[in-house]
């Protein structure tokens, strides 16, 4: 008797421990009534979202909390609707049936008909050769600057002072001072100064100064300009990386080509499948009757 009791107690302890452990590895994130959503449930739902949405959710954990709240809120409203018999009403049952059919059709197409489509390396190479001119990369320069502001109505003394400050910055750079450090200490552009003078990637025609653009694109990678005057003041520019105008390599264009060809393949395969369903199912659309009915509803909208 004592042995049986001991085993029973041990079993209960083991079961409790396993439940606690299960909750730790797959925790309940929220619940409403008898319905609960666990971490694995949420992960499966997130996996069905577009890639960009998945990335945003992973980068911002608070979005997961919002998603759980939305799911549970909809569930709570749906539970109330069922309790009041809305799921039994003919007009709602019909709409639910259409929604279920639409969902099943979309999932079947995505997961069965189009799931295993692959684009061959040969087809991608062929596309690249036929559309090579479409992969031309624009000339660009990843640049930094140290900016000394000069107002349009600056006095001669202010112009001299601004020029002197620019010359001081250039002198420090020529002695080997770090560009980012000099930009932080001397640049009059607060937004870029705190980023070491970084302007990002510039392309022709996208700057607001012809003098600045000409000087920036004349630089080679890692080269620093002399003092450049623009309508806004003085600049010292550094080219972190210069990219000349060229055709993208196959490897650089490959992901775009693969996505383009896969989309075309999916379109073709989808149309073939729809045509097959038309023939196999005996589907018929009585166009004349449907058009007549629609015309009657337009003429008598309140009927």
- 125 and 268 in a single domain? The answer is yes
Residue 26 pLDDT: 84
Q: Note the pTM of the prediction, 2 decimals.
A: 0.52
Q: How far apart are the first and last CA of the chain?
A: 80
- 284 and 222 in a single domain? The answer is no
65 token code pair? 């909390």
- 263 and 294 in a single domain? The answer is yes
- 193 and 277 in a single domain? The answer is no
- 125 and 148 in a single domain? The answer is no
- Contacts for 35 with CB less than 8 Å, ≥ 6 apart: 72, 75, 79
Angle (CA) 238 240 243, round 5°: 115
Domain of 75?
23-88
Residue 4 pLDDT: 41
pLDDT tens-place string over residues 208-245: 899 999 999 999 999 999 999 999 999 999 999 999 99
CA distances from 177 to 46, 198, 250 (A): 49, 16, 40
Residue 289 pLDDT: 67
Q: What is the 3-state secondary structure of 47-86? A: HCCCHHHHHHHHHCHHHHHHHHHHHHHHHHHHHHHHHCCH
Residue 83 lies in a domain: yes
Which residues does the chain have with pLDDT short of 70? 1-24, 289-303
- 233 and 153 in a single domain? The answer is yes
Residue 175 lies in a domain: yes
With left for phi above 0 and alpha for psi between -120 and 50, is residue 282 left, alpha or beta? left
133 token code pair? 């001119």
Residue 209 pLDDT: 93
């Amino acid at each position: 008797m004592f042995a049986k009791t001991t085993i029973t107690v041990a079993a209960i302890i083991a079961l409790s421990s396993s439940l606690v452990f299960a909750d730790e590895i797959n925790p309940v994130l929220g619940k409403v009534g008898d319905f609960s959503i666990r971490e694995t449930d949420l992960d499966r739902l997130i996996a069905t979202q577009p890639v960009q949405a998945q990335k945003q959710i992973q980068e911002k954990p608070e979005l997961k909390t919002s998603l759980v709240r939305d799911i549970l809120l909809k569930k709570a409203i749906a539970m109330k609707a069922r309790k009041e018999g809305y799921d039994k009403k003919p007009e709602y049952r019909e709409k639910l049936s259409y929604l279920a059919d639409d969902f099943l059709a979309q999932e079947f197409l995505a997961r069965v008909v189009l799931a295993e489509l692959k684009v061959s390396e040969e087809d991608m190479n062929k596309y690249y050769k036929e559309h090579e001119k479409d992969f031309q990369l624009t000339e660009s320069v990843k640049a930094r600057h140290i900016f000394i502001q000069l107002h349009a109505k600056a006095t001669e003394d202010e112009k001299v002072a601004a020029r002197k400050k620019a010359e001081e910055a250039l002198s420090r750079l020529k002695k080997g001072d770090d560009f980012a450090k000099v930009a932080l200490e001397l640049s009059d552009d607060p937004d870029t100064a705190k980023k070491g003078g970084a302007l990002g990637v510039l392309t022709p025609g996208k700057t607001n100064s012809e003098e600045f653009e000409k000087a920036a694109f004349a630089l080679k990678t890692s080269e620093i300009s002399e003092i450049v005057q623009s309508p806004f003041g003085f600049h010292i520019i550094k080219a972190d990386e210069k990219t000349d105008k060229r055709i993208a390599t196959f490897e650089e264009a490959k992901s775009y080509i693969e996505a383009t060809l896969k989309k075309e393949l999916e379109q073709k395969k989808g149309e073939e499948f729809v045509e097959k369903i038309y023939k196999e199912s005996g589907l018929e659309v009585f166009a004349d009757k449907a058009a007549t009915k629609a015309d009657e509803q337009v003429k008598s909208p309140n009927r």
